[in-house]
Amino acid sequence: MSEKPISREESFGYDRKTIDYIRNAAAHGLYEIRGMGAKRKLPNFDDLVFLGASLSRYALEGYREKCSTKTILGTRYAKKPIELDIPITIAGMSFGSLSANVKEALGRAATEVGTSTTTGDGGMTPEERQSSKTLVYQCLPSRYGFNPDDVRRADAIEVVIGQGAKPGGGGMLLGQKVSARVAGMRTLPEGIDQRSACRHPDWTGPDDLAIKIQELREMTDWEKPIYVKVGATRTFNDVKLAVHAGADVVVVDGMQGGTAATQTCFIEHIGIPTLAAVRQAVDALEDLDMKGKVQLIVSGGIRTGPDVAKALAMGADAVAIGQGVLIALGCNHDSYFQNGEHRPASADYSALGTAPGFCHHCHTGKCPVGITTQDAMLEQRLTPEFGAKHLKNYLKTLNMELTTIARACGKQNVHHLEREDLVALTLEAAAMAKVPLAGTSWIPGVGNI
């Protein structure tokens, strides 16, 4: 008599992931907190492709013809706009979430390739100011470490309204990472689970924001560009309001954007994909006739040169990268480089309950490769020199891919890439980006059905 086969029919609604979630909630009574960005499959720039040159467009000869990548940000009001060699910037990430070594590595690499880096919650460290030729200083709701001397030391100021990983939510830094130095910079007791406010303390709406921006301009004698960063939600309206409030530059961070720590329910369930957000943002600028007058930076899941090229073709003036930068430094690698040799890190990933390639445990402060940590031993696993070298290579690669694509589309300047160069591979991407489905002239939701 044969045994009865074991049923392996998995429920769609109650799959193993959902069952695991419910069990954890029942065990702990507290939501999950983690790092990095959305892990779910989302429409993204991979769903677009370029229409390279052929008979209807002339390609540029890559060996002989230059393709400019020069990028200027903050031309609307600032007396001293930001001039970058490439349109790829480093997104705001805090000292506290990252080690001081990492912040220095970001500054060194950015300076070498001629781009900007950005502070984060908790203020500006001397290491990052010293190593960064162009440093954007964030003004966040928490105002941790925010002070007028650093405003004066900065090259631009970014008023952060929200972040793609958690629009509407405040920051957090768990106690393991609130070291003596971090606590001192943030005026907090050492070792507490730090919460950040989700709203600014001294203004409450777009009309107030306009006055806040004026304060920052008066404070800096109208010299420095003022950026406004929003997490992507009602992007069309938010970008319009930011422009009305007087922003020189608007930064739109899509839901693929990363974080050092926040509730998983925020990361996966709040916000819209970058692909949808960039089109809404550009529509808003065009609707106000401010395209080219107010610059647009797009972030959230920008990983590759093609991603950069597609963001620019959609209408962005530059991109900002966070998670890709960390991966270039060694995030999720199976080893780290210390004292001249590669050393295995897999056991440390196992201790966190994860493995190289799957880790999102930035919130624990126990980063196996020494990036998202304040632990004195762990942070030695990434030196500024080693990190800067790899990050520089990554940024150079992205820029080479960007210019290669631009030449193939017949552009002498990467900022000449345009929506007409793009088509979509999926209905969702065509509808979100409002570019035609490949091989057709059909844009879902636009024109007659």
Partner 1 sequence: MDSLNFDLAEIPLRTVNTFLHKEAPGQSVKKVVITNPDGAHNIAVGLDFPVDIEVVGHAGYYAGGMNKTASITVTGSAGTGVAENMMSGRVHVKGFASNGAGASAHGGLLVIDGDAGLRCGISLKGGDIVVGGSVGSFSAFMAQAGRMVICGDAGDALGDSLYEAVLYVKGNIKSLGADAQIEPMSAADLATVKELLAAAGMDHDPKDFKRVASARSLYHWNADANQEY
Could you give the CA distance from residue 359 to residue 349 in angstroms, rounded to a whole number? 7
- Asked if 5 is part of the footprint of partner 1 (rule: CB under 8 A), the reply reads no
Tell me how far, at minimum, the Cβ of 111 lies from partner 1, in Å: 27
- Asked if 218 is part of the footprint of partner 1 (rule: CB under 8 A), the reply reads yes
Three-state DSSP state, 28 = helix
Could you give the CA distance from residue 186 to residue 385 in angstroms, rounded to a whole number? 27
Cβ neighbours of residue 317 closer than 8 Å, sequence gap 6 or more: 71, 73, 87, 249, 295, 296, 297, 415
Choosing from 193, 286, 287, 420, the residue that interacts with partner 1 (CB under 8 A) is: 193
Choosing from 15, 202, 287, 385, the residue that interacts with partner 1 (CB under 8 A) is: 202
Contact criterion met (CB below 8 Å) for 413 and 86: no
Contact criterion met (CB below 8 Å) for 132 and 103: no
* Options 75-83, 215-223, 227-235, 340-348: segment touching partner 1 (CB under 8 A): 215-223
Question: Chain centroid to CA 224: how far?
Answer: 22
Task: Considering the complex, state which of residue 140 and residue 409 has its C-beta at the smaller distance from partner 1.
Answer: 140
Site string for partner 1, 85-124 (x = CB under 8 A): ----------------------------------------
- Asked if 269 is part of the footprint of partner 1 (rule: CB under 8 A), the reply reads no
Hey, what's the torsion of the CAs at 356, 109, 274, 357, to 10 degrees? 0
Question: Chain centroid to CA 429: how far?
Answer: 20
Choosing from 34, 129, 177, 212, the residue that interacts with partner 1 (CB under 8 A) is: 212
327 residue type, one letter: I
- Cα Rg of the chain, angstroms: 22
Scanning residues 236 to 265, which ones bind partner 1 (CB under 8 A)? none
Tell me how far, at minimum, the Cβ of 184 lies from partner 1, in Å: 11
- Asked if 215 is part of the footprint of partner 1 (rule: CB under 8 A), the reply reads yes
Choosing from 192, 355, 400, 446, the residue that interacts with partner 1 (CB under 8 A) is: 192
- Asked if 142 is part of the footprint of partner 1 (rule: CB under 8 A), the reply reads yes
- Asked if 354 is part of the footprint of partner 1 (rule: CB under 8 A), the reply reads no
186 residue type, one letter: R
Read off the tokens for 373.
């940590």
Could you give the CA distance from residue 103 to residue 233 in angstroms, rounded to a whole number? 29
Task: Considering the complex, state which of residue 101 and residue 179 has its C-beta at the smaller distance from partner 1.
Answer: 179
Give rounded-to-5 percent helix, strand, coil for the chain.
35, 15, 45
- Asked if 77 is part of the footprint of partner 1 (rule: CB under 8 A), the reply reads no
**Buried b vs exposed e over 49-71: b needs ≥16 C-beta within 10 Å?**
bbbebeeeeeebeeeeeebebeb
- Asked if 175 is part of the footprint of partner 1 (rule: CB under 8 A), the reply reads yes
Best CA proximity match to 229, nearest among 146, 169, 160, 128? 160
Categorise residue 71: left if φ over 0, alpha if ψ from -120 to 50, beta otherwise. Answer: beta
- Asked if 24 is part of the footprint of partner 1 (rule: CB under 8 A), the reply reads no
- Asked if 214 is part of the footprint of partner 1 (rule: CB under 8 A), the reply reads yes
Task: Considering the complex, state which of residue 4 and residue 28 has its C-beta at the smaller distance from partner 1.
Answer: 28
Site string for partner 1, 145-164 (x = CB under 8 A): -xxxx-xx------------
Q: In the 8-state DSSP scheme, what is residue 158?
A: E
Task: Considering the complex, state which of residue 157 and residue 325 has its C-beta at the smaller distance from partner 1.
Answer: 157
Task: Considering the complex, state which of residue 200 and residue 415 has its C-beta at the smaller distance from partner 1.
Answer: 200
Choosing from 201, 357, 439, 447, the residue that interacts with partner 1 (CB under 8 A) is: 201
Choosing from 52, 126, 184, 189, the residue that interacts with partner 1 (CB under 8 A) is: 189
Tell me how far, at minimum, the Cβ of 201 lies from partner 1, in Å: 4
Interface ranges with partner 1 (CB under 8 A): 28-30, 142-143, 146-149, 151-152, 174-175, 186-189, 192-193, 195, 197, 201-204, 208, 211-212, 214-215, 218-222
